[in-house]
Structure 1
Amino acid sequence: MNLRNPPPWQVLPVILLVLGLSIWAGESWLRPMLDPGAGDRVVLAVAEDCELNRAGCTVALDGMRLMLRGPDTIPPLEDFDLILEAQGPVEPLEVSYVMPGMDMGVNRFAFGAGDEGIWRAPSALPVCMSGRLDWLAQVRFAYEGREYEVRIPVLLSRPARGTQD
């Protein structure tokens, strides 16, 4: 047996094993950094009729109340503010927008301080080439030393089509 030039049938299983282990280890190590939904936090339920860009959503937790809202219409590729109003000692962290079942890249925005108890996260969402308009806003905040997440449906408005001459 020649160790300098082993036959391909002996090398291929080793390459596949190393490649598989590398992908698995990389996924396990990178997932918490790339996926804003990963990590140790409590996910709070919202009302079934809750939608970010209609009436907004209210979430209550141990005497603390959050109101989350956006504009009535949210067109793709246009800036908008997600507004978080809190009644209680809350620390807003970030909002990330995901499209269920579709990889739309990283769409993560930090909250900036506004008026007393009001924070804003300047946001913008890309156009989905398949024409889908349904998104999910994952709002993360800290309250009494623990991280929480609220997942709220977001429906973009259909972009206006240009007129053709």
Structure 2
Amino acid sequence: MSMKQARWLIGSFIVLALLSIVWSHRPGTLQLETPVGGALLPVSVPTDCSLKAPGCDLSLGELGSVTVQAPARIVPLHKFVLTVTPSAELAKNLGAVSVDFQMIGMDMGVNNYPLQRAADGAYSQTIILPVCTTTRTDWVALLMLHTPRGAYLAKIPFSVDPR
């Protein structure tokens, strides 16, 4: 066996090993990419909650509430800004805020975005979602809000607009 063939064989084994690792996870479940310390507290999302304009109000109990809002039109491969605006009482206790976009049953890659806090206390980030090759448009935004009491997780379903 020549050195060139040996390199090709080793390279093939490495690629196959990496592919088996990627394919072994279960994309049919919603997973958090960010490890959470402390309690993970679910946030009740109203059935009429719309991530797209006009937005959605989410209650975190006695801590306060947040308004989550994106533009009225979200198109894959086009930038949009997601904004999370905490109420005055929650703004004092809110730490890191991030959002992870996932599609149930599909592996759409890593779409996790930390939101940046602005001077007015709102958190925002420019986001670009990938195109689904099967033309599905249903997504779930996993919004993570870190507080001293634990991390709050809201699962907000939404749809992107066709191109």
TM over 0.5: yes
C-alpha contact 1:92 1:119 (8 A) present in aligned 2: no
Matched pairs, number: 130
Q: Does 1:81 align with 2:85?
A: no
C-alpha contact 2:113 2:127 (8 A) present in aligned 1: yes
1:45 aligns with: 44
Deviation at 1:121?
A: 1.9
Equivalent position amino acid for 1:68 in 2: V
Provide the C-alpha distance between the structure 1 equivalents of 2:42 and 2:34, rounded to a whole number of angstroms. 10
Which runs of at least 4 in structure 1 moved beyond 2 Å after TM superposition? Answer: 34-40
For structure 2, the residue ranges without an aligned partner over 5 or more in a row are 1-20, 26-30
1:65 aligns with: 65
Alignment counterpart, residue 114 of structure 1, candidates 106, 115, 118: 118
Inter-CA distance 37–51: structure 2 relative to 1 (3 Å threshold): farther
1:157 aligns with: 161
C-alpha contact 2:43 2:59 (8 A) present in aligned 1: no
Matched-pair identity in %:
27
Q: Deviations over 1:19-78 (max 9, x none)?
A: xxxx7xx97xxxxxx842775511211001112014211111214110001000000001
Q: What is the TM-score of this pair, normalised by structure 1?
A: 0.71
**RMSD of Structure 2 on Structure 1 (CA):** 2.3
For structure 1, the residue ranges without an aligned partner over 5 or more in a row are 1-22, 28-33, 160-165
1:31 aligns with: none
Q: What is the TM-score of this pair, normalised by structure 2?
A: 0.72
Matches within 5 A, 1:6-21: none
